[in-house]
Amino acid sequence: MTADTAPRSRTPLLLIMFAALMAGAGNGISLVAFPWLVLQRSGSALDASVVAMAGTLPLLAATLIAGAAVDFLGRRRVSMISDALSALSVAAVPVLALTFGAQVVNVAVLAGLAALGAFFDPAGMTARETMLPEAAKKADWTLDHANSVYEAVFNLAYIVGPGIGGLLIATLGGIDTMWVTAAAFGLSVAAISALRLEGTGKPDPGAMSDGVWAGIVEGLRFVWNSKVLRTLAFVDLAATGLYMPMESVLFPKYFTDRNEPAQLGWVLVALSVGGLIGALGYAVLSRYMKRRTVMLIAVLTLGVAMTVIAFLPPLPLILVLCAVVGFVYGPIAPIYNYVMQTRAPQHLRGRVVGVMGSLAYAAGPLGLIVAGPLADSAGLHTTFLALSLPMLALGVAAVFLPALRELDAEPRGT
């Protein structure tokens, strides 16, 4: 029976979606728990930046390696190994506290465990994204539809994760909250272990006969030679560097100073609810708007909303602005996924996704290095403005980037 005549089934797609939900929820809890544990001990935004940076700095190298690992070892295997190791890295927080006492879980230990978890995460994310085209075909879904729902599930994970994380911290404490994180990663492993899908096993060894490093270079070369992929990578790099400190340091600092962990969870929930609606709506939105138009609106709106947030208005207005940011930015990841999946040949798909992800992560540590000390010395208002005004400039500049017009062009054969 050929792939074209094989019976249709949504089971593989649903398993991938569930795994993404659980792994994303685990990361979402960590997004709240790690900064909270640090700020609870020292109250320093600089220390929170160090731990947040430790959770992002390994992503640059890890995502490059992850893409090659996915193409070399197989998507299903890499996804399971990655999530299992991520579970162990977060479970180490309560294990150390139980064994040696809570005092041993200091800033250095938290930074090390955050870095360890961050090193494993990209492989799982890359593996799941690269399995989507085959799963979508098996389910008889369009790729736009599959990417839209996948990103909606990812945003749902960040509703479940930070929202529950904030509430768990308020009831159980930051250390015990990490048990929930580990359990979420474990459920992701279980889902992928049940997955049976063509193209997810160990690939042809000849696809990377020159080794992992040569494979990484091949992926870099492919992205660089594609004008639209190269431009998207740098736009995402800039946007990530400007946006990440707001979510990872500035909001945690603001609500920690006010001793309001649950409110921090609600802010992150508002971002994710907006993203969930935006990502789900993309399948419909794409019928009426061009991909380039959607992306330009997203970046410009993000800059405007961040600028208003810089004045630290009342919580209800912050929640509305965060929901708007999530809504307009929700369709961007499906667009990125579609471009990567349709421009890259099958044997290069993991490396292309890895390269694009690593370039986006490259600016994150730089933004965190600036945001932490600036928040301690100049205050949150000034730091928000220092990030939001360049975001506005990025949105204006994107209007004049000719390569983005290729977002609406039909992909040429790969």
AA identity, residue 211? G
What is the Cα gyration radius of the chain? 20
Q: What is the pLDDT of residue 1?
A: 44
Give the model confidence (pLDDT) of 141-155 as tens digits.
888 788 888 888 877
Sign, CA torsion 117/167/245/253 = negative
Q: Residue 411: CB partners within 8 Å, gap ≥ 6?
A: 339, 342, 343
pLDDT in tens, 235-280: 887 887 787 788 777 888 788 777 777 788 788 778 778 878 888 8
Residue, of 40 and 18, whose pLDDT is higher: 18
Calculate the average pLDDT of the chain. 80
**Length of the chain in terms of residues written:** 414
How far is Cα 154 from Cα 175, in angstroms, rounded to an integer? 24
CA distance 227 to 269: 35
pLDDT in tens, 394-412: 889 988 988 888 888 776 6
User: Which amino acid appears at position 290 of this protein?
Assistant: K
Neighbours of 313 (CB within 10 A): 12
Which residue did the predictor score with more confidence, 228 or 156?
228
Instruction: Tell me 248's DSSP state.
Output: I
Closest residue by Cα to residue 62 from 120, 107, 14: 120
Domains and CATH numbers, the chain: 10-194 (1.20.1250.20), 212-406 (1.20.1250.20)
Q: What ranges in 194-226 are assigned the alpha helix state H?
A: 212-225
Cα angle 301, 359, 55 (rounded to 5 degrees) comes to 90
In the prediction, which pLDDT does 414 show?
46
Rounded Cα gap, residues 324 and 27, in angstroms: 22
Provide mean pLDDT across the span 315-329.
87
Instruction: Report, as an integer, the average pLDDT of 107-125.
Output: 78
- 0.75 surpassed by pTM: no
Query: CA–CA separation, 44 vs 48, rounded Å?
Result: 6
pLDDT computed for residue 412 by the predictor: 60
Q: How does DSSP assign 324-364, residue by residue? A: HHHHHHTTHHHHHHHHHHHHS-GGGHHHHHHHHHHHHHHTH
CB 122 within 8 A of CB 357: yes
28 vs 51: CA distance, rounded Å? 15
Identity of the highest mean pLDDT range in 214-218, 325-329, 402-406: 402-406
> Above 60 in pLDDT, residue 341?
yes
Residue 184 tokens read as 């979420």
Burial 144-172 (b: 16+ CB within 10 A, else e): bbbbbbbbbbbbbbbbbbbbbbbbbbbee
- pLDDT of 340 over the 80 cut: yes
Written as six digits, the tokens of 237 are 């790099």
- Least confident range from 59-63, 90-94, 248-252: namely 59-63
Nearest to 291 by CA among 281, 280, 282: 282
Q: Are 337 and 132 in contact (CB under 8 A)?
A: yes
